[in-house]
């Protein structure tokens, strides 16, 4: 089931503000950039960069994911480990709103999202 319209507006506002704060300067965006996508009940943050062995190919690397759990009215937070699968972010697996998810990713206290 998709996220409700009200949540979608809240997500877009939080994520666009995140991009304003965190995206690199315009001159560097061909080498590294950030984006996000809303898929069903999840928000996924991506790092965009040229592929290391084929720089003409651009890749989107998933960094963090939050999935809305309607029964709990909470967001479940995930990070992608070396096995390339999503794992619950155990230091704080649930957050009450998308702004708290963005704050976790920005702070990255345990170096899970940005390495």
Using pLDDT thresholds of 50, 70 and 90, give the confidence band for residue 115.
confident
30 part of a folded domain: yes
Structure confidence at residue 6 (pLDDT): 67
Task: Give the number of domains in the chain.
Answer: 1
Structure confidence at residue 44 (pLDDT): 98
Q: Which domain holds residue 99?
A: 5-107
112 part of a folded domain: no
For 69-114, write each residue's pLDDT tens digit: 999 999 999 999 999 999 999 999 999 999 999 999 999 999 999 9
Q: How many CB atoms lie within 10 A of CB 39?
A: 11
Query: What value does the mean pLDDT of the chain take?
Result: 95
For 38-58, write each residue's pLDDT tens digit: 999 999 999 999 999 999 999
114 part of a folded domain: no
Cite the DSSP H helix spans in 1-115: 5-22, 98-107
Closest Cα to residue 35, out of 26, 25, 22? 22
88 part of a folded domain: yes
31 part of a folded domain: yes
59 part of a folded domain: yes
113 part of a folded domain: no
């Amino acid at each position: 089931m998709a996220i409700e319209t009200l949540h979608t507006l809240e997500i877009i506002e939080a994520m666009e503000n995140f991009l304003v704060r965190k995206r690199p300067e315009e001159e560097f965006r061909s080498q590294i950039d950030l984006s996000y996508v809303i898929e069903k009940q999840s928000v996924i943050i991506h790092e965009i960069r040229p592929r290391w062995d084929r720089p003409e190919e651009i890749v989107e690397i998933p960094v963090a994911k939050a999935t809305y759990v309607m029964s709990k009215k909470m967001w479940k937070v995930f990070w992608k480990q070396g096995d390339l699968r999503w794992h619950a972010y155990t230091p704080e697996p649930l957050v009450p709103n998308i702004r708290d998810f963005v704050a976790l990713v920005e702070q990255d206290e345990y170096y899970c999202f940005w390495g």
